[in-house]
């Protein structure tokens, strides 16, 4: 396995975590899949986020009937020798490979525009072309930049905790900037740290506004290391190159919303972008919503600083993903 992985990725791999058992919680009682020494490199094969229930042949009916208890299936945990509470676990994300497809699922009552699309569901399969762009609609291509939405270490408290919310130990961070070339720091809370990872994404906009992005299986290579006697309160990460330069090469469409309720601002600014995309391109409302989740970036431009101070939220949609063939009037 290690030899095959080295050839496939061009990296020397010390260990491989492939196949089950998987888990959907962080729990310090989970048995490690592998024990590694600081500085070693591991390949981790991660099935799609629904625990292998969805495939390139899946339909909306399949997606609406999955077993929700298997959502956020993650791989691991990995035990790092010598890791003790009060240390910092350092994860270098070296490479991530996708399997050529992904899915997006819009669930009823979920997402930033749950009220606008009340009673509606949708499910789409994305396919990756030879140029490493993912397509789900004619005239829209999203560049593939894989990352894992869930990663973290075991908590010090006994018993399982769900992966869905982001936490100080990691969890469902769903941050598209956790791409290869990123270094992530985690607080070590238990001996061995017990690192797990999964929820592969082929691409995502900041905010993942419809509730899912381009969800698919990925194979990840990471280097695990330790900083001894260096406690941190919460996960943080650093990157070493520009984050969004290629996709923003042609600029952005940007909608704005102002007010004092951050949740309402988010709803309003995303809804405004859906309307703008429908006006400019031959897209249905649900299609525009899915594209917002796949490629648009939600940003807090002005914070709400008090009852007399309105904030502003902006939503940025890269122009480069759209073909002239779907422009209205073309």
**Domain end marker among 183, 214, 238:** 238
pLDDT at 204: 97
Which of 186, 203, 238 finishes a domain? 238
Tell me whether residue 56 is in a domain: yes
Please tell me whether residues 318 and 200 are part of one structural domain. Answer: no
Do 190 and 218 lie in a common domain? yes
85 and 192 fall within a common domain: yes
**Predicted local distance difference test score (pLDDT) of residue 109:** 94
Maximum CA pair distance of the chain? 64
Q: In this structure, is residue 245 part of a structural domain?
A: no
Residue 325 CB neighbours (<10 A): 10
Claim to verify: residue 112 and residue 24 sit in the same structural domain: yes
Q: Are 162 and 185 in contact (CB under 8 A)?
A: no
pLDDT at residue 308, rounded to an integer: 80
Which pLDDT score is estimated for 41? Answer: 98
Residues 45 and 135 reside in one and the same domain:
yes
CA 114, distance to chain mean position in Å, is 20
CA dist., res. 13 & res. 4, Å (int): 9
Neighbours of 165 (CB within 10 A): 9
Count of the separate structural domains present in the chain: 2
Alpha-carbon gap, residue 309 to 255, rounded angstroms = 20
| Dihedrals phi, psi of 72, to nearest 5 degrees | 70, 40
Domain that holds residue 306: 252-326
Tell me, yes or no, whether 244 lies in a domain: no
pLDDT at residue 247, as a whole number: 82
Contact 149, 117 (CB under 8 A): no
Cα angle for residues 61, 66, 69 (degrees, 5° grid): 165
Phi, psi angles (nearest 5°) of residue 190: -140, 160
Q: Is 288 helix (H, G, I), strand (E, B) or coil?
A: helix
Nearest in space to 54 (alpha carbons), one of 103, 15, 16, 115: 103
Q: Mean pLDDT in each 10-residue stretch from start to end of the chain (330 residues)? A: 47 94 97 98 97 97 95 96 98 97 97 97 97 95 96 97 94 95 97 98 97 97 98 95 79 96 96 98 98 97 86 96 92
Contact 173, 166 (CB under 8 A): yes
Enumerate the β-bridge partners of residue 298.
315
Does residue 147 sit in the same domain as residue 7?
A: yes
CATH code for position 111: 2.60.120.580
pLDDT score for 9: 59
246 is a domain residue:
no
Rounded to an integer, what distance in angstroms lies between the CA atom of residue 325 and that of residue 138?
Answer: 9
Q: Of 163, 148, 155, nearest to 71 (Cα)?
A: 163
User: Both 232 and 257 in a single domain?
Assistant: no
Is residue 132 assigned to a domain?
yes
pLDDT recorded at residue 7: 44
Q: For residues 153 and 45, state if they share a domain.
A: yes
What is the pLDDT at residue 10? Answer: 67
End-to-end CA distance of the chain: 52
The CA distance from 136 to 189, in Å, is 42
Residue 198 within any structural domain of the chain: yes
Residue 97 and residue 44: Cα distance in Å, rounded? 11
Residue ending a domain, choose from 196, 216, 238: 238
Q: Which residues pair with 135 in a beta bridge?
A: 127, 141
CA-closest candidate to residue 248, choices 321, 139, 179: 321
CA–CA separation, 148 and 305 (whole Å): 33
Tokens of 57: 């042949």
Whole-model pTM?
A: 0.93
Place of tokens 């797990």: 196
Q: Is the omega angle on the peptide bond into residue 144 within 30 degrees of 0, that is, cis?
A: no
Token pair in block for residue 30: 């989970």
Q: Which CATH number characterizes residue 273's domain?
A: 3.10.28.20
């Amino acid at each position: 396995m290690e030899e095959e992985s080295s050839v496939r990725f061009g990296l020397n791999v010390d260990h491989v975590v492939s196949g089950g058992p998987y888990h959907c919680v962080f729990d310090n009682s989970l048995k490690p899949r592998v024990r590694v020494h600081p500085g070693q490199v591991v390949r981790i094969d991660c099935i799609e986020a629904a625990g292998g229930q969805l495939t390139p042949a899946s339909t909306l009916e399949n997606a609406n009937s999955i077993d929700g208890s298997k959502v956020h299936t993650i791989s691991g945990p990995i035990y790092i020798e010598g890791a003790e509470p009060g240390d910092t676990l350092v994860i270098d994300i070296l490479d991530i490979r996708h399997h050529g497809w992904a899915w997006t699922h819009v669930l009823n009552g979920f997402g930033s525009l749950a009220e606008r699309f009340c009673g509606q569901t949708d499910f789409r399969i994305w396919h990756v072309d030879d140029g490493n762009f993912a397509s789900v609609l004619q005239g829209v291509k999203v560049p593939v930049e894989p990352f894992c939405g869930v990663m973290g270490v075991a908590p010090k408290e006994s018993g399982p905790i769900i992966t869905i919310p982001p936490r100080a130990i990691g969890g469902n961070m769903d941050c598209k900037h956790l791409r290869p070339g990123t270094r992530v720091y985690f607080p070590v809370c238990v001996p061995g740290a017990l690192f797990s990872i999964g929820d592969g994404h082929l691409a995502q906009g900041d905010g993942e506004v419809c509730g899912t992005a381009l969800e698919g299986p990925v194979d990840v290579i990471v280097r695990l290391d330790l900083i001894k006697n260096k406690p941190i309160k919460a996960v943080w990460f650093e990157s070493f190159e520009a984050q969004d330069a290629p996709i923003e090469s042609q600029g952005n469409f940007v909608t704005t919303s102002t007010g004092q309720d951050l949740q309402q601002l988010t709803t309003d600014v995303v809804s405004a972008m859906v309307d703008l995309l429908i006006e400019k391109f031959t897209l249905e409302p649900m299609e525009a919503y899915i594209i917002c989740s796949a490629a648009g970036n939600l940003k807090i431009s002005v914070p709400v600083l008090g009852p007399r101070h309105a904030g502003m939220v902006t939503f940025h949609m890269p122009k480069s993903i759209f073909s002239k063939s779907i422009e209205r009037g073309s």
